[in-house]
């Protein structure tokens, strides 16, 4: 196969033309990957290539090169070059022929996908599960051919309850399946997949599509354009409603309000209320419970207890940036001020605004902590959980008893590579979900232990 341009699956850089066989290293972010994991592939003339075809060709090139090497090595051995004299070894010829036949047959089986059905095939390099869960046992058809990442453009993970247990729903991206997008639900304790909705379209076509969860329903849009309505428990499609244009806004009713509709706004400015009982969209203007917002999905549950900073008392030596309230407990996240802006946390009574405690957020000594590194926080089930950075690249997640300020645990996250942002932190009663660049890590809210990961990052 001719030399081609591959787009890095991590940073998206278009790499110089090269052979697609073997492991490739991005010259910009140093991510290592194989051709089938690339974000996109192009000929030197700029024509787009199908990643399946590229992967198959790369595998064939590598196998042929390996077979040539075996043949050449065998020829040298058969010749029996010893001090310039050739010594024939008839018995070895038969053995070499058998090896070459096995290599050829194995290559064809691998390329045809038949190896995936053999017991233990998942232990072979390149033939294992690439779906990104930590051990899902009931993968959808074709999942073993995917390189699955969590699509952060689709928004943070949303905690839900499925079968009486905590789970989360988010959007994923299958690079090995024509870069298709899906809505998926995963068990929070095991990272096993419950169900999948989609495909919703390729990343290029559908990256701006939305999904929302309300009243045991999952609402997903696609570029056809249409609105898909699914059951939260099973993922089963209940209805698909054709639209006149793509969806600009999905507005969910405020928590605690008994509303039997959600509001939809399309790009062509047509608006309507979706009757949740009849599953029918009726034209209607913006309701009074749906505030005008730049957010595409209004009233996401994960941010429900974030409040205006004016709710917190003034704290000497601290500049407050975010405030959270849960019942009779309030917590403020901020930085030291005046002085180097190291992250700080303060607890208060939301009713009286009486200050209960204030201290450094980080468990590390100040000279190791990165200033202004705490951007994410969540207050849930009496625990306040936040992030901070230390050294040149380490990320930590730490938890406090929200009422007393006692530190409960401090966890250091696994290092990834040079570009390693934390994009969201969402908490449920017993779990913490950390949205990284292309994955979601699930921690126990009790002790900070890593329970599982959904989506693949390129680890060194």
Per-residue model confidence as pLDDT tens digits over 353-386: 999 999 999 997 777 899 999 989 999 999 999 9
**Average pLDDT rounded to a whole number, residues 11-37:** 76
Cis preceding linkage at 338, omega within 30: yes
Report in angstroms the alpha-carbon separations of 264 from 209, 242, 314: 13, 13, 40
In this structure, the chain runs to a length of: 460
pLDDT beyond 70 at 324 = yes
The CA dihedral of 314, 317, 320, 325, to the nearest 10 degrees, is: -60
> Environment class of residue 102 by beta-carbon count within 10 Å: exposed (0-12), middle (13-18) or buried (19+)?
exposed
Q: How far is CA 306 from CA 27, 232, 302, 447, in A?
A: 41, 25, 9, 24
Q: Which two tokens stand for residue 392?
A: 């040149």
Tell which wins on pLDDT, 62 or 332.
332
Contact 208, 198 (CB under 8 A): no
Statement: the pTM of the whole predicted model exceeds 0.95: no
- Summarize the confidence of residues 304-321 as an average pLDDT: 92
Contact 129, 176 (CB under 8 A): no
**Does the N-terminal peptide bond of residue 141 adopt cis geometry, omega within 30 degrees of 0?**
no
Sheet containing strand 394-401, edge to edge, reads: 377-380, 383-390, 394-401, 407-412
The answer to whether 111 touches 126, Cβ cutoff 8 Å, is no
Domains and CATH numbers, the chain: 5-117 (no CATH), 143-301 (2.130.10.10), 306-412 (2.40.10.480)
Task: At 404, list the tokens.
Answer: 């007393």
pLDDT in tens, 222-251: 999 999 999 999 999 999 999 999 999 999
For the ranges 16-30, 178-192, 402-416, 421-435, the lowest mean pLDDT is seen at 16-30
For the residues 138-163, what does the mean pLDDT come to? 76
Q: Which of 233, 235, 237, 181 is nearest to 455 (CA)?
A: 181
pLDDT given at position 91: 54
Rounded percentage of the chain residues whose pLDDT exceeds 70: 74
Nearest-10 Cα torsion for 104, 109, 112, 114: 180
First vs last C-alpha separation in the chain:
28
pLDDT of residue 40: 82
The residue-averaged pLDDT of 13-39 equals: 77
Q: Is the previous residue joined to 225 through a cis bond, with omega within 30 degrees of 0?
A: yes
More confident residue, 81 or 366: 366
Between residues 103 and 440, the one the model is more confident about: 440
Work out the pLDDT band at 125, boundaries 50, 70, 90.
very low
So what's the pLDDT on residue 59? 55
DSSP string, 119-182: TTGGGSTTSS--S-SSS-SSPPTTGGG--EEE-GGG-S-EEEEETTEEEEEEEEEETTTTTEEE
Is it the case that residue 115 has pLDDT exceeding 70?
no
């Amino acid at each position: 196969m001719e030399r081609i341009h591959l787009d890095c699956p991590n940073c998206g850089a278009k790499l110089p033309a090269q052979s697609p066989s073997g492991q490739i290293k991005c010259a910009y972010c140093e991510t290592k990957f194989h051709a089938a994991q690339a974000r996109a592939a192009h000929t030197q003339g700029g024509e787009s290539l199908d990643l399946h075809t590229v992967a198959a060709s790369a595998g064939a090139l590598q196998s042929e090169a390996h077979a040539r090497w075996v043949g050449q090595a065998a020829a040298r051995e058969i010749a029996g070059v010893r001090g310039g004299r050739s010594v024939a070894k008839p018995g070895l010829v038969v053995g070499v022929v058998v090896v070459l036949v096995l290599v050829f047959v194995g290559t064809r089986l691998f390329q045809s996908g038949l190896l995936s059905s053999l017991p233990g095939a998942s232990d072979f390099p390149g033939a294992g599960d690439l779906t990104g869960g930590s051990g899902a046992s009931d993968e959808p058809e074709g999942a073993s051919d995917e390189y699955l990442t969590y699509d952060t453009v689709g928004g943070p993970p949303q905690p839900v309850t499925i079968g009486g247990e905590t789970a989360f729903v988010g959007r994923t991206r299958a690079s090995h399946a024509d870069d298709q997008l899906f809505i998926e639900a995963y068990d929070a304790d095991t990272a096993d997949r419950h169900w999948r909705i989609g495909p919703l379209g390729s990343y290029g076509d559908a990256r701006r599509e939305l999904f929302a969860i309300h009243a045991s329903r999952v609402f997903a849009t696609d570029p056809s354009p249409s609105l898909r309505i699914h059951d939260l428990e099973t993922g089963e499609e209940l209805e698909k409603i054709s639209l006149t244009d793509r969806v600009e806004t999905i507005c969910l009713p405020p928590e605690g309000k008994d509303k039997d509709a959600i509001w939809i706004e399309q790009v062509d400015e047509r608006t309507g209320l979706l009757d949740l009982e009849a599953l029918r969209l009726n034209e209607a203007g913006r309701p009074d419970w749906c505030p005008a917002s730049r957010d595409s999905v209004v009233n996401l549950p994960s941010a429900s207890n974030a409040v205006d900073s004016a709710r917190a008392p003034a704290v000497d030596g601290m500049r407050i940036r975010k405030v959270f309230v849960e019942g009779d407990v309030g917590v403020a996240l901020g930085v030291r001020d005046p002085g180097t802006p190291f992250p700080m946390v303060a607890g208060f009574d939301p009713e009286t605004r009486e200050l209960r405690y204030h201290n450094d957020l980080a468990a590390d000594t100040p000279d190791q902590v990165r200033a202004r590194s705490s951007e994410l926080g969540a207050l849930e089930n009496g625990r306040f959980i936040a992030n901070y950075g230390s050294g040149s690249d380490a990320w930590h997640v730490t938890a406090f008893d929200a009422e007393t300020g006692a530190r409960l645990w401090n966890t250091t996250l696994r290092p990834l590579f040079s570009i390693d942002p934390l994009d969201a932190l969402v908490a449920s009663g017993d779990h913490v979900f950390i949205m990284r660049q292309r994955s979601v890590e699930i921690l126990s809210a009790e002790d900070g232990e890593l329970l599982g990961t959904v989506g693949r990052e390129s680890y060194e």
